[in-house]
Amino acid sequence: MTRIGGRSDDMLIVRGVNVFPTQIEEILLADARLSVHYLLELRRDGRLDTLTVVSEVKPGAGDSPAEREAIAASVSARIKDLVGVTATVRLVNPGTIERSLGKARRLVDLRQ
């Protein structure tokens, strides 16, 4: 598990684990196949919260479904190892995630 960093008001609690979006951002930015655009989705399935990381692949990366699965599995394993929470990683095509002129929206909380 990495050292806690970031602002405390940016912290998420997922299945009892303190998660800072910046921790996940560092993992995504370290992978040369992924772009800087990502989105974290929080959902509640029954009593458990689930985290889905949606990230854009760079052009030319992840062209085949098998390659995308390998990239997603690799990123998911790094999140589990470094952050301590299991996350589903969904890779999307470049330009899919909404862009904003202001502050980027990185978290969508769909829990009810």
What's the whole-number mean pLDDT along residues 72-78?
Answer: 97
User: What is the reported pLDDT for 45?
Assistant: 85
User: What is the reported pLDDT for 6?
Assistant: 47
Angle at CA 20, nearest 5°, toward 45 and 34?
85
Tally of CB atoms within 10 A around 97: 18
Percentage of residues in the chain having pLDDT higher than 90: 60
Q: For residue 81, what are the contacts with CB-CB under 8 A and spacing of at least 6?
A: none
What's the whole-number mean pLDDT along residues 35-49?
Answer: 91
What's the whole-number mean pLDDT along residues 18-32?
Answer: 94
Distance CA 9, CA 7 (A): 5
pTM, to two decimals:
0.85
What's the whole-number mean pLDDT along residues 101-109?
Answer: 79
Spell out the domain ranges in the chain.
8-109
**Which of the given ranges, 58-62, 68-72, 101-105, has the highest pLDDT on average?**
68-72
- At the topology level, CATH places domain 8-109 in GMP Synthetase; Chain A, domain 3 (3.30.300)
Split at pLDDT 50, 70, 90, the class of 43 is very high
